[in-house]
Amino acid sequence: MRSVDACSRHSICCWSDLRHTMEKVLKYTIHKCSSFSGSYAPGNIMENKPIDQSSRWSSDSNSPPQFLVLKLEKPAIVKSILFGKFEKTHVCNLKKFKVLGGLSDEHMIELLEKGLRNDSSPESFRLKHVISGHVFPCRFIKIVPLQSWGPSFNYSIWYVELHGIDDWDVVKPSMNWYNTYREDEAVRLCLKHFRQQNYMDVFHALRKHTKARVQFEDPLLSELHKLLVVDGDFDRCEQLLAELLEKGIFSSYLSRQEYQPVWERLTPPLKEMNSSMRPGMRGGHQMCIDVKSETIYLFAGWDGIQDLSDFWAYSIPDKSWICLSRDTEADGGPSPRSCHKVCLDPERKQIFTLGRYIDANTQGPKSFQSDFYMYDIESRKWVLIMDDTLSMGGPPLIFDHQMCMDVEGRCIYVFGGRVVQSPESGNEATTEALYSGLYAYHVSTNTWRKIRDEVSPERMSIRPRSGHSMLFHPTKRELYIFAGQRSKEYFKDFYIYKVDTDGLEEVEEAEVPLTGVTQRATLDPELNEIHMLSGLSKEKDKRWNGVRNSLWVFDLSENRWSCVYKNDASNQALSDKIQKEPCPRYAHQLVYDEVHKIHYLFGGNPGRPCLPKLRLDDFWSLHLSRLSKEQLLRKCRFLIRKQRFHELASENTVSALMYLQTSLAEVIDHSVNENITEFHQLAASLFPSTPESDDIGQQPTIFQEEVNTPAHFRSRTALYDSLVLLFPEEMTQPKGNLVDLISMLESEDGDAESELLYIPSTPRIRTRRHRVHTYAHPSGVGSTTGRGKRGRRYDNAMYLINLIDDDFEELDIHHFIEGSASGFALLFQKHDLMEAWNHFVDLGEEEQMEMLGMQKKRKSSDGESHHERRNVRKSSSEDKTANHPGYMGGEAEAYLRINQSLRTLFHRRHLPLGILAELEEEVVDFFGESPMDVYVSRALSPLQRSFLHAICQFHCLCANSLESGDSPVRMMQVDNPYLNFPCNCCRLLNYVETKVRAK
């Protein structure tokens, strides 16, 4: 989606407040559907009946495309969609689906791509409704199922509810803007097409008339196009890109690049290998980091048997642990504990700790007080701030909560956590879990303040929870609260609390991935990123390989989650002494050094059922590396210089070789094997196998140079289009292409799309069903007479399905160009040939001439042998009977020459005989005109190859499958072993239709 500026963001926020007051359930009708089965008509989704198994829409098959098109009562801004479900899990529930929307049913844009959980809980999803900072309306909503939870099952939708705004005073301005937006985008697409095709007169004329209203692209990109495509000033292009990189123009592109995790195990020095010199195994402990002193503090935890009360400090520069206290309780500090929280004030060198887990069945009444401690780093002393926070207006005794500090405001924020309830408190509801709200502790005044409770009728509130994450952004002065669980309910929400204005906002576009509970999150305020390492997943089973870890990065500026690391126990061994990455775990601790961009991980629970008391004591660092500015600039220079090299190669090979060895070699990273391989390929391109070609060294491109097109215009344009991808979307030309809007095929009845019009008289009355319309085969041959349009459509659908090969891959230009390599090119690619060449060069002149003479004699003898073989083949052919077997016998005899497995093929119920007719007509016509030539087929599907084998056996032809090198495209070679071919003989198609299928 196009990024928006600050003004647009402000307008969205204001518009968001307006939408909340006017949002309503939108009325709709069923406009179209692909198919439906039995009584499961589309109209059923308009009623929410979760206990009625028949109250749903079910497709007639799972063959694409399957869809529902909903028509709103009037145009509206559709904000969200809700899916109701059956009261139990169901194999036909949608595991994956898409939602599209638009003002017409012919032109829609994608609004959502998600999946439903296979349970009974309704799910609501936010729909895309903002483009370039403006909301846009929809009249039609299209739901496209992609995958069901049960393999090979049809799709079912039980209930659909749409939410949004249909107030005409609000929708009308958005419709006016959207229509203008579409017109502007159409103009921009035309401008892009005209410039790509070098229709510069038309381009300048259109731009002159629309420049005041439509911005085609940023002036910086226009300058880059002139330097690169028009002038060919490659040096100035490199300078311009370097200047833009320093200005931060490519920051958005760099932030979208995937991180590469680099783990390193921090092995302690030999003197600390003794367990008494470093922290032992534990989980449920706490850590905090002082980035200024580069010190990590670790406190308490659970070792599988008991709570701990030791206190440690780790010096990052010295790579060593220091024990600050073996027993903090004995030193006047907190008692042994786990599932507590700590936070650090780096300015005043103070550490605060609050909360702990207590087993209610083993502790006395006094243990249920919520004590609050502070540790002074400089004096190395503990201070009890208060022995019971609840009595001072703070939270009760809690565990698995979150705590973070606003250093500037000297305020500590505490949210969530499960309340520890005393069995002697007299509360009858002790069996029901209680959760704490949002509190603030002001350090300077030593006072607590409740900010949000579980129920705040006057203000927006956050549902209390445990096992969540909470982070404080010191620059934006915002709290980020997300994920967690409450009893058996798992949250994916994301909230922002503004500490200065007491404003609370739910970021609905920032849906959190299901990363389980006890996940650990960190914040980089400079990069505006949240890093989250997953914990114990709710799908965890009783097996060892049920524990998994994944690292997610959330971009605060784009509200986008991305997974950068995954790990599970299936490929890890806990006993391995040499590991490249930590084994999966939960109840671990993670801290982040935002200065050096390094995470530190310690301990945790590996989750082994056979060893329930086992905990970990390994210590790891994690560095997330991604494409740097220097690497991006090197990449841009390489692309530009490669283009320059190709242009030199087309004019002067010697100059191109010198440029390759100097300027181009400078920007090659020789430590990467892929770069070395590409460098060798560029060198090999200087020695093509067809020296008479005019395109020596020319870079492959999908464009063909025209007579009236300047030299290298197309290849330069392709390079420019690739460089445009580095810029922010609001600066660039449109991504789409004008030619992509032109449909190549039209349906038989003139419809642009296959669909079933659904106009029910009552919601539950079944309407007339029609087969999905498909495109007819161009030959129009082979359809069984009398079956009508419905039968022909089914044949055509089967034809399209059979065209899909098992080893199909997306085609590109290289599939249509026969690959060839010269001898010199092979020298750069094959080591053994290079050694033979070096040996030949080292020989003396006489020895070289002698070797060349021997090679010439060998070729001459080979040529004579080849000529003899051709004569032998000719004589052997003449020995055969002059009459082709096709002249003798009948159709039945010819049909019996076909293999039994191929004959079985023709007994199938639904078979696209049009393919058979087309292939047989093509082969018979070919050999009727040239009996002695060899027929090489085009790329064929498996069904087409089977048909061609049967045709060849029927007509006494020889067929062999061919593979084009490493290409997956399969072809067939057919030749006639006889001197003639009866073009007017019987046909396999006729026999199959009249004899075989007639039975």
CATH number of the domain that residue 127 is part of: 2.60.120.260
Identify the CA nearest to 396 among candidates 358, 342, 345, 432. Answer: 358
Q: Are 947 and 916 in contact, with CB atoms under 8 Å apart?
A: yes
- Residue 971: domain span: 891-996
The larger pLDDT score, comparing residue 623 to residue 487, is at 623
Helix, strand or coil, per DSSP, at residue 321: strand
Residue 87 forms part of a structural domain: yes
Total Cβ atoms within 10 A of residue 293: 14
The larger pLDDT score, comparing residue 785 to residue 647, is at 647
Residues 171-220: tens digit of each pLDDT: 888 888 888 888 898 999 999 999 999 999 999 999 998 888 888 999 99
Residue 68 forms part of a structural domain: yes
Neighbour-count burial for 863-888, b at 16+ CB within 10 Å, e otherwise: eeeeeeeeeeeeeeeeeeeeebebee
Residue 606 forms part of a structural domain: no
Residue 250 sits in the same domain as residue 160 = no
Residue 241 sits in the same domain as residue 157 = no
What average pLDDT does this structure show over 356-376? 80
Q: Going by DSSP bridges, is the β-strand pair 418-419/469-473 parallel, antiparallel, or unpaired?
A: unpaired
Neighbour-count burial for 87-119, b at 16+ CB within 10 Å, e otherwise: eeebebbbbebbbbbbbebeebeebbeeebebe
* 394: exposed, middle or buried (Cβ count in 10 Å: 0-12, 13-18, 19+): buried
Which of 166, 199, 226 is the C-terminal boundary of a domain? 166
- Structural domains in the chain (count): 3
Residue 106 forms part of a structural domain: yes
Residue 158 sits in the same domain as residue 53 = yes
Helix, strand or coil, per DSSP, at residue 363: coil
Q: Are 772 and 793 in contact, with CB atoms under 8 Å apart?
A: yes
From residue 185, how far is each of 191, 213, 219 by CA, in Å? 10, 11, 18
Residue 155 sits in the same domain as residue 77 = yes
Question: ∠ CA(974), CA(977), CA(978), 5° rounding?
Answer: 125
Q: How far is CA 245 from the centre of its chain?
A: 27
Residue 875 forms part of a structural domain: no
Rounded to whole angstroms, how far apart are CA atoms 713 and 693? 19
Q: Are 143 and 150 in contact, with CB atoms under 8 Å apart?
A: no
SS3 sequence, 131-195?
ECCEECCEEEEEEEEEEECCCCCCCEECEEEEEEECCHHHHHHHHHHHHHHHHHHHHHHHHHHHH
Which of 166, 182, 199 is the C-terminal boundary of a domain? 166
Q: Are 695 and 689 in contact, with CB atoms under 8 Å apart?
A: no
Residue 31 sits in the same domain as residue 153 = yes
The pLDDT score that the predictor gives to residue 886 is 59
The larger pLDDT score, comparing residue 158 to residue 129, is at 158
User: How much of the chain, in percent, has pLDDT values that exceed 70?
Assistant: 74
Rounded to whole angstroms, how far apart are CA atoms 290 and 313? 10
The pLDDT score that the predictor gives to residue 451 is 93
The pLDDT score that the predictor gives to residue 307 is 94
Q: What are 985's two structure tokens?
A: 């003989």
Rounded to whole angstroms, how far apart are CA atoms 588 and 549? 11
The pLDDT score that the predictor gives to residue 829 is 55
Q: Are 701 and 719 in contact, with CB atoms under 8 Å apart?
A: no
Q: Going by DSSP bridges, is the β-strand pair 529-533/548-555 parallel, antiparallel, or unpaired?
A: antiparallel
Q: What are 926's two structure tokens?
A: 């070919």
Break the chain down into helix, strand, coil percent, rounded to 5. 30, 25, 45
Q: What are phi and psi of 665, to 5 degrees?
A: -65, -25
Residues 898-927: tens digit of each pLDDT: 888 788 888 877 788 888 888 888 888 888
DSSP-assigned letter for residue 664: I
Residue 787 forms part of a structural domain: no
Stated as kind and residue range, the H or E segment containing 506 is strand 503-506
110 pLDDT band (50/70/90 cuts)? Answer: very high
Residues 803-821: tens digit of each pLDDT: 544 444 444 434 334 444 5
Residue 69 forms part of a structural domain: yes
From residue 390, how far is each of 281, 398, 419, 422, 465 by CA, in Å? 32, 10, 11, 14, 18
Beta bridge partner(s), residue 80: 126, 163
The larger pLDDT score, comparing residue 17 to residue 944, is at 944
Q: What are 821's two structure tokens?
A: 């390599």
Residue 134 sits in the same domain as residue 48 = yes
Residue 79 sits in the same domain as residue 158 = yes
Residue 41 sits in the same domain as residue 145 = yes
Residue 117 sits in the same domain as residue 235 = no
Specify the length of the chain in residues. 999
Rounded to whole angstroms, how far apart are CA atoms 550 and 563? 7
**In the Cβ-directed half-sphere of 736, how many Cα atoms lie within 13 Å?**
12
Residue 60 sits in the same domain as residue 154 = yes
Residues 607-622: tens digit of each pLDDT: 888 888 999 999 999 9
Helix, strand or coil, per DSSP, at residue 700: coil
**Rounded to two decimals, what is the model's pTM?**
0.64
831 pLDDT band (50/70/90 cuts)? Answer: low
Cis peptide before 173 (omega within 30 of 0): no
DSSP-assigned letter for residue 42: G
Identify the CA nearest to 448 among candidates 462, 461, 437. Answer: 437
**pLDDT of 928 above 50:** yes
- Distance in angstroms between the alpha carbons of the first and the last residue of the chain: 59
| 836 Cβ contact list (under 8 Å, min separation 6) | none
Identify the CA nearest to 129 among candidates 152, 115, 112. Answer: 112
Residue 56 sits in the same domain as residue 158 = yes
The pLDDT score that the predictor gives to residue 799 is 53
Rounded to whole angstroms, how far apart are CA atoms 867 and 874? 11
Residue 162 sits in the same domain as residue 221 = no
From residue 360, how far is each of 368, 423, 434, 481 by CA, in Å? 9, 7, 14, 29
Longest CA span, the chain: 113
Rounded to whole angstroms, how far apart are CA atoms 207 and 627? 36
Residue 37 forms part of a structural domain: yes
Most confident by average pLDDT, 298-302, 768-772, 774-778, 823-827: 298-302
The pLDDT score that the predictor gives to residue 641 is 93
Q: Mean pLDDT of all residues in the chain?
A: 80
User: How much of the chain, in percent, has pLDDT values that exceed 90?
Assistant: 42
Identify the CA nearest to 392 among candidates 355, 343, 431, 441. Answer: 441
